[in-house]
Amino acid sequence: MRVECIVDGKTLSLSLNSNKPLSLILADDIGIDTFSSCCSGNGCGNCIALVDGNAVLSCMVPAFEINGKTIITFESFKKTRNYQDIAKAYDAVKARPCPICYKSRTLLFESIIARGVTKEDEIMRELGTIECACMDALDEIRIIREAIEIRRRRRVRRS
């Protein structure tokens, strides 16, 4: 099938098997392999990409679901001001994910922040997407709230 999508700002037209997972499309067809999925498609959470702003497990998203979508990988996201907000929040809270889940967890935090999720129970539910136990859930919530505040202050200064 022909899939039209935007990956990290580049418009692409790809001929793919309709069930090929996004993780393999990014690695094999586009040459982006910035995540470390060690689950082989069982949902460990270490292959998160943003699809239309929502964090998804790229190993679970078939090609037919990305047609017409905008996909952001960590490689592209780390060049943004929004990434800097989250990096500053890691420093402020003095907590940081391990190298294995850093990229995916950062994208998950961005998805939560960008969609305006602020209720603790909703945040907790979303944090369960990543199985790595390197971080305390309360630290993760503090990081998200700190990044929201950093972003708010940055936007106020600009206006």
The pLDDT score that the predictor gives to residue 35 is 53
List the structure tokens of 115: 């969609």
Cα–Cα distances in angstroms (integers) from residue 156 to residues 36, 113, 128, 150, 153, in the given order: 36, 17, 32, 10, 5
The pLDDT score that the predictor gives to residue 138 is 96
Confidence of residue 155 (pLDDT cuts 50, 70, 90): confident
Q: Where are the domains of the chain?
A: 2-75, 81-158
Confidence of residue 45 (pLDDT cuts 50, 70, 90): confident
The pLDDT score that the predictor gives to residue 135 is 96
Q: Average of pLDDT values for 70-78?
A: 97
- For 16-125, strand residue ranges (E) read 48-51, 54-57, 70-72
pTM of the entire structure?
A: 0.93
2-75: CATH topology: Ubiquitin-like (UB roll) (3.10.20)
Confidence of residue 70 (pLDDT cuts 50, 70, 90): very high
The pLDDT score that the predictor gives to residue 128 is 93
Asked if pLDDT for residue 7 goes beyond 70, the answer is yes
| CA trace torsion 85, 89, 90, 94 (10° rounding) | 160
Cβ partners under 8 Å of residue 51, min gap 6? 22, 61, 65, 66, 69, 70, 71
Classified as helix, coil or strand, 71 is strand
Asked if 96 and 102 touch (Cβ cutoff 8 Å), the reply is yes
Helix count and strand count (H, E) for the chain: 6, 5
